[in-house]
Amino acid sequence: MKKPALLVALSALLTLSGCSREFVESMYDVDYTTTNRFANNLAPQPGQLTKDSAALDQLMNSFSGQVERYWGENDALVASKRQYVKYTDGYQSRAHVDFERGVVIVETVAKTDPTQHLKSAITTTLLTPENPAGVDLYSDSAIELGDKPFLYGQILDNEKQPIEWSWRANRFADHLIATQLKKRAERFHQVYYVEIPMVADHADKRGYKYAHIVRDASRRYGISEDLIYAIIKTESSFNPYAVSHANAYGLMQVVPATAGADVFKLVKKRSGEPSPMYLFDPANNIDTGTAYFYLLRHRYLKAVKDPLSLHYSMISAYNGGTGGVLKTFHHDRNQAMTNLNRLQPNQVYWALTHKHPKAEARRYLQKVTNYQKAFNQGKL
């Protein structure tokens, strides 16, 4: 299979920029919501990799320029951790899956026969496969259909049936256009679109797909299943297509140059770092993310004495780094560990959720522990 342009481009950017989540977040309080700025960090054209900064800037701006050409600056969207966005049809149509709101929006700005363009976009969206390797999110390239649809069971048609085959997808598309077609006027164009609600337990249905992978990783590394599920829910809402402008990929949002490289070197005993294509595979991603928790427990934070304090520290470190955890307690690493071990677990939790140097990391620990509780109560 030919490598998607996204994966080739991102690999180059990782090499050339040396950028990591820890570096970005040490400079900024990162907001991972959808942003046009993310598109400026991607180079969608394969075979054009160069260290010439001007050429690289041109490549990185190519995708966002194409999007804005058809949709305008104010209506441009790109994929993020919890937002799947894919352009097709020469950038005239797009699918937008909002995992937080539980809605799929399919739109077109085609000026000629827009309903036919919209129908094609709807059927393609409904049949988009589970495997992210066949989908280039940062071009208008066609999607390779054939595998079981990613949204299977997360959307039901007008007969309350899941959609797996083209005949049902086409029939549902006709129904949506006949009964749910909407229009809105943007500055330079008319948008035709439909909104498709996802089932109430869509996150659970995505999560069930990975149950055997999570179970295997839990046993392999001695990390609890509820923690793995809570991390995936927090990081990507079980979106295997998840990407961030901090160079993190997949379900557990693994950064290749940091956590990924550590796992390769210290756990897998292999050189280099995982590629984006490697991390877009759910099994590889969950294995790598869980292996990194193993390193946090047995290497980077092994001096934390209380098991619950260690648990909180591991979660915080997964997001903000081990250094961020220690800086919460003192600027000197040895003194920080001494101070941490003097505290009760509830005090460690309070410190990490109130005094951690990064606001995003403070919120992160709260989210993960809440999701763990929900999982153990059967509500995740």
Amino acid at 252: M
| Whole-number Cα distances in Å, 165 to 89, 124, 162, 168, 228 | 21, 11, 9, 6, 32
Structure tokens at 260: 């990924």
Instruction: Say if residues 126 and 173 touch (Cβ distance below 8 Å).
Output: yes
Out of 22, 235, 273, 360, the active site residue is 235
User: Rounded distance, CA 281 to CA 300, Å?
Assistant: 26
328 class by beta-carbon count within 10 Å (0-12 exposed, 13-18 middle, 19+ buried):
buried
- Two structure tokens written together for 23: 């570096």
Asked about 25 being catalytic, the answer comes back as no
β-bridge partners, 88: 93
CA distances from 265 to 256, 292, 298 (A): 12, 11, 15
What is the torsion angle, in degrees rounded to the nearest 10, for the CA atoms of residue 347, residue 349, residue 353 and residue 355? 40
Q: Which residues are catalytic?
A: 235
